[in-house]
Chain A
Amino acid sequence: MLTALLLALVACGPCRKQLGTLVSDFGNMSAYAQQTGAFCVLVATMVVAMLLFKLCQVGGTYTFSPASSVALTEMCKLALALFLHARINGARDAAAWSEGVTARVLVHYALLSAGYTANNQMAFYILRSADPGSLALFKSTAPYLVALMLRCTGQRISELQYVAVIINCLAIGVVQYDVCKGAGLLPRKVYVMMTVATLLTATTSVWNQKIVKGFAVPVNLQNAILYTYGTIFAVLSFVLLPEEKPVGFLEGYGPLAALLVIFQAFHGLAVTLVYKYADASAHAHPSSHPRPHPLSHHLTSPPPPLLTSPAQSSRTLPTRR
Chain B
Amino acid sequence: MAFLVIISSVFFGLQVNVHSWLGIGIILTATHLYMNVALRAPPK
Interface residues of B in 1-44 (CB under 8 A from A): 1, 3-9, 12-15, 19-20, 22-24, 26-27, 30-31, 33-39, 41, 43-44
- Contact residues of B: prevailing secondary structure: helix
Interface residues of A in 45-80 (CB under 8 A from B): 46-47, 50-51, 54
Q: Does A133 contact B (CB under 8 A)?
A: yes
Contact of A309 among B8, B36, B38 (CB under 8 A): B38
B23 touches A314 (CB 8 A): no
Bound: A162/B30 CA distance, A: 10
CB distance from A278 to the nearest CB of B (A): 13
A132 touches B7 (CB 8 A): yes
Bound: A174/B23 CA distance, A: 6
Q: Does A199 contact B (CB under 8 A)?
A: no
Contacts A281-B35, A311-B41; A131 near B27 (Cβ below 8 A): no
Contact of A310 among B1, B6, B23, B35 (CB under 8 A): B35
A175 touches B27 (CB 8 A): yes
B14 touches A131 (CB 8 A): yes
CB distance from A163 to the nearest CB of B (A): 8
Bound: A143/B30 CA distance, A: 12
B44 touches A284 (CB 8 A): no
A161 touches B37 (CB 8 A): yes
A residues neighboring B (CB under 8 Å): 43, 46-47, 50-51, 54, 131-137, 140, 143-144, 147, 154-156, 158, 160-161, 164-165, 167-168, 170-175, 178, 185, 279-281, 284, 309-311, 314-315
Task: List 9 tightest A-B contacts by C-beta distance, closest first.
Answer: A133-B8, A133-B5, A174-B23, A131-B8, A311-B38, A175-B23, A164-B34, A171-B26, A131-B12
B residues neighboring A (CB under 8 Å): 1, 3-9, 12-15, 19-20, 22-24, 26-27, 30-31, 33-39, 41, 43-44
